[in-house]
Each structure stands twice: as C-alpha cells, then as structure tokens.
C-alpha cells in the first residue's frame, strides 16, 4: 500500500509553525507496512486543495490530510471535501452530542452556532471519533483512493491515528511487513563509513535497502527490509547487522533510533555506578541538556557549570586568571583546569570540559574560529584533545557535543571487559 500526506495551512507555508504531524503519521503508517510516497504542504485555497486531491487520485491508496477542520471561516476542508465528492454537509447527531458535552460540560458555557457547525460533515463520510476535540476525522473513498481528513491539532490528530485509523487499516487491508533496524555510529564521516562497508552494502539482499543519515560527528545507518514473511525478514536482517558489526564495530554505539550516544553513555555509567559532571563554555550547556533529557539521568549525572564568560570561569569554576592570561580561554591548559575543577567540585568519577571558539568572529583568543578543546577526566587521568570543526557556528557546537560523548564513552569502555 502507498500513501501520501498533505498538510493544509498558510501558517505552515510562511514558517509560523513547524509541521510535526506529517512525521508522526509517516512513522505510524510505516509500522504497519504502508509506504509513504509523498509529503505535501499546501495553502488554505479551495482550488489548490482540489487540484492536489485530483493529482493524488488513483496514484496512491491513502491520502491523509491534516488541518482546515476548525470552526472559523478560514477552515475550508469540509466544504472542499463536499465539492470533490459531490456531497453535502449534514448534521451528525453523535458528533453534535460530543461537541455539546465538551462545550457545556468541560468549558461550562452555552454552545454557540459555530460550535454546532463542527457537527456538520459530508453525508457520505465515515466518522473518525475525536475524543480530544470537537472536529471529527473523516474517511471517504473515491475510486481506488481513500481520503482521510484529520484535525491539525497534534494531540487530536495522534489520538485519531492511534485509535481509529491504524486499527481500521489493519482490519481492512492486507499489507506487507516493513522492518527497520538503525545502527548508530560516531567518530567517522559518511564517506569514510561508506568506504569501509562498500563490499557489504553491494551484497545486501534485494529486499533490504540501506540509507545513510548523517549529522555532525555521527552517522545513522538505517536498514529497511520489506516482504511478506516477517520471520524471514527478521532473520536475514539480524544476520546482516552481525556482519556489519564485524566490519565497523569500533564506531558503533547503538542499534536503535532511541540509542543515541547519550543514552548509551548513561546506561554504561549507571551499570558501573559511576558519576559525571560537565563544565561547558562554547557549547553553552548543550551537553548537560542532552544528558538530562534521558529519563533517570539523576542516577549518574550530578550537574554542570556553564562558564560562558571569563568571569564565571575564574569566579565560579576557579580557573586561574594567570592561566587564562598566559594561554587564553581557548587552550589546552584552561580546558584541563576546567575539567579537574568541576570533577573536584561535584565529586564525580568522570568529567567533561569544553572550551572553544564557535565563531563567527575570532574574539580575544589565540586560536582560529572553529577550534575546540575537549578535556576528559577519569578517576586515573586527564587528557585533552584539540579539534577544528570549521564553520558554521551550529556545526561547531553540535560536533563538539558529539565528540565529547564519543571520547568519554571510548575511555570508559577501555576498562569494561
């Protein structure tokens, strides 16, 4: 089965809001074996909507549309549905009862005519219950394509997808299996990883596709297996992952989308009953933010000092002003003092310190823009590595964060047998 996702709303096209709905819908459909062929964002314009529907008719099995179901005049999806399906709006009494319960019960005010109009739906549509809002979803079929209209409010859309659409599709359609396996690597760029696994990639079975998903300092490899026998797909995919691990096991840190390096690192620290602290300058607290985004991080992460200014480095973190004066804030010597001091202050087993010049200007340092010093303190030693991550500024910060995690993980794993 193939599907297209269409978001309706001028607010998306002008960048006023970010479309998160399409990603959620795509993941939900992919899990049940439906291939997404297109994602479109279009304006609240009747002709544009009708043209889009016509262009997708019989091209895909499902068209899922979000947005335009609100009670105001700029929400025109229901009326446009009626035009496309040569239908008319009628009152659905179950929907009206639900809307009345929300307005009069939850909001404790009389229902208005605008609220009542939420119960107007095309007469030929199948209603998809919206338990979290007043606008129901609509399911309508024309020739070989089903058109599904959903509210644009994310939590309303998600509820309908999970409790109405996915069960309905599973019950009514025969679908292939699509299984994904993600391998997360750190420390080598996309081209280098591709060179190392070229022979393996060239010999993948035809029903397994490989995608490279790079970002600064890391590359995710996504293997997708598609077929009708789930057990066979699982077996062959597991064997291919095993072969891949023999080739690039030195840079693999996880085997799942949720296995980011900060998750893996936290798991190792927790298993070893070890603790961590950070001192951050150019990364501005991003290392700490990623660590604390992992549930249960308090078991191993004690805290961070974001010493963005020189004054905070000297007054709070107690870095020597003489060291800064002699070597500048972006230096191996300052990184060393930062990591040792935060390790001592927070009484941790491990510590990370980062100082650098993310740009765009050189500022009062002796180093070029893009230069970053990363210091790692362990219970036995301290080491500092120097990098130049280039530009732009965002790339420097992201690469510094990822490299910090990578260096610490490798150091910890040296003592794990």
69-73, 178-182, 212-216: least confident range: 69-73
Evaluate if residue 156 carries a pLDDT over 80. yes
Residue pair 364/325 in contact (Cβ under 8 Å)? The answer is no
Token pair for residue 217? 């300092």
Per DSSP bridges, beta strands 145-150 and 137-142 are antiparallel
**Helix ranges restricted to H, 216-309:** 230-248, 261-272, 286-292
Mean pLDDT for the stretch of residues 121-127: 94
pLDDT score at 254:
80
pLDDT score at 407:
93
pLDDT score at 36:
94
Rg value, the chain, Cα: 27
Evaluate if residue 325 carries a pLDDT over 70. yes
| Dist CA 243 CA 284 (whole Å) | 39
pLDDT score at 129:
94
54: left (phi over 0), alpha (psi -120 to 50) or beta: alpha
For domain 177-254, which CATH number applies: 3.20.20.70, 3.40.50.720, 1.10.10.10, 3.30.70.2860? 3.30.70.2860
Evaluate if residue 99 carries a pLDDT over 80. yes
Evaluate if residue 417 carries a pLDDT over 70. no
Q: Does domain 2-172 have CATH number 3.40.980.10?
A: yes
84-93, 112-121, 279-288: least confident range: 112-121
Tell me the whole-structure pTM to 2 decimals: 0.61
Half-sphere exposure of 403 (CA within 13 A, CB side): 25
Q: H or E segment at 402? A: helix 393-413
341: buried, middle or exposed (CB in 10 Å: 19+, 13-18, 0-12)? Answer: buried
pLDDT score at 74:
62
Secondary-structure breakdown of the chain: helix, strand, coil percentages, each rounded to the nearest 5: 40, 25, 35
SS3 label, residue 156 = helix
pLDDT score at 328:
92
Give the tens place of pLDDT for each residue, 243-274. Answer: 999 999 988 888 876 678 898 899 899 999 99
- Residue-averaged pLDDT of the chain: 91
pLDDT score at 258:
64
CATH of domain 261-413: 3.90.950.20
Percent with pLDDT over 90 in the chain: 67
Evaluate if residue 128 carries a pLDDT over 60. yes
The closest alpha carbon to 133, from 112, 156, 115, 150, belongs to 156
Work out the pLDDT band at 170, boundaries 50, 70, 90.
very high
The neighbour count for residue 160, using CB atoms within 10 Å, is: 23
Contacts of 202 (CB under 8 A, 6+ apart): none
pLDDT score at 60:
97
Token pair for residue 290? 């990623």
pLDDT score at 68:
78
Residue pair 290/401 in contact (Cβ under 8 Å)? The answer is yes
Query: Where are the CATH 3.90.950.20 domain residues in the chain?
Result: 261-413
pLDDT score at 14:
86
Residue pair 36/56 in contact (Cβ under 8 Å)? The answer is no
pLDDT score at 108:
86
SS3 label, residue 79 = helix
SS3 label, residue 27 = helix
| Dist CA 287 CA 375 (whole Å) | 13
Token pair for residue 155? 């939590």
Mean pLDDT for the stretch of residues 324-336: 95
Work out the pLDDT band at 77, boundaries 50, 70, 90.
confident
Query: Where are the CATH 3.30.70.2860 domain residues in the chain?
Result: 177-254
Of 139 and 253, the structure prediction assigns the larger pLDDT to 139
The angle formed by the CA atoms of residues 233, 236 and 241, to the nearest 5 degrees, is 115
pLDDT score at 148:
97
Mean pLDDT for the stretch of residues 52-72: 90
Give the tens place of pLDDT for each residue, 335-370. Answer: 999 999 999 999 999 999 999 998 777 666 777 899
pLDDT score at 257:
66
Beta-bridged to residue 208, according to DSSP, are 225
| Dist CA 258 CA 270 (whole Å) | 17
Residue pair 279/351 in contact (Cβ under 8 Å)? The answer is yes
């Amino acid at each position: 089965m193939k599907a297209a996702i269409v978001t309706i709303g001028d607010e998306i096209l002008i960048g006023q809001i970010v479309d998160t709905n399409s990603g959620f819908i795509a993941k939900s459909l992919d899990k049940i074996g439906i291939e997404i062929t297109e994602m479109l964002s279009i304006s609240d314009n009747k002709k544009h909507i009708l043209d889009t529907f016509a262009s997708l008719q019989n091209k895909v099995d499902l068209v899922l549309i979000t947005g335009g179901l609100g009670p105001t005049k700029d929400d025109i999806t229901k009326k446009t549905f009626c035009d496309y399906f040569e239908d008319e709006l009628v009152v659905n009494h179950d929907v009206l009862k639900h809307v009345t319960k929300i307005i009069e019960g939850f909001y404790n005010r009389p229902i208005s005519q605008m609220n009542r109009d939420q119960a107007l739906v095309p007469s030929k549509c199948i209603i998809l219950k919206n338990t979290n809002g007043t606008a129901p979803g609509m399911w309508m079929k024309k020739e070989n394509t089903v058109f599904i209209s959903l509210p644009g409010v994310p939590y309303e859309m998600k509820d309908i997808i999970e409790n109405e659409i996915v069960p309905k599709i599973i019950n009514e359609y025969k679908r292939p299996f699509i299984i994904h396996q993600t391998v997360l690597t750190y420390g080598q760029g996309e081209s280098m990883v591709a060179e190392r696994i070229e022979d393996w990639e060239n010999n993948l079975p035809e029903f397994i596709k490989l995608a490279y998903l790079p970002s600064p300092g890391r590359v995710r490899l996504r293997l997708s297996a598609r077929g009708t026998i789930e057990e066979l797909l699982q077996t062959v995919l597991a064997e291919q992952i095993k072969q891949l691990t023999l080739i690039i096991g030195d840079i693999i840190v996880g085997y799942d989308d949720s296995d980011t390096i900060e998750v893996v690192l936290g798991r190792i620290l927790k298993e070893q009953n070890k603790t961590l602290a950070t001192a951050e300058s150019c990364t501005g607290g991003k290392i700490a933010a990623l660590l604390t985004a992992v549930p249960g991080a308090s078991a191993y992460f004690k805290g961070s000092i974001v010493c963005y200014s020189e004054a905070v480095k000297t007054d709070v973190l107690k870095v020597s002003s003489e060291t800064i004066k002699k070597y500048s804030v972006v230096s191996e010597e300052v990184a060393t003092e930062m990591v040792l001091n935060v390790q001592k202050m927070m009484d941790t087993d491990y510590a990370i310190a980062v100082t650098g010049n993310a740009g765009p200007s050189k500022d009062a340092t002796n180093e070029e823009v893009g230069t970053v010093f990363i210091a790692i303190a362990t219970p036995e030693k301290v080491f500092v590595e120097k990098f130049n991550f280039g530009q732009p500024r965002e790339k420097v910060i992201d690469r510094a964060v990822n490299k910090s995690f990578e260096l610490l993980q490798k150091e910890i794993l040296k003592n794990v047998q």
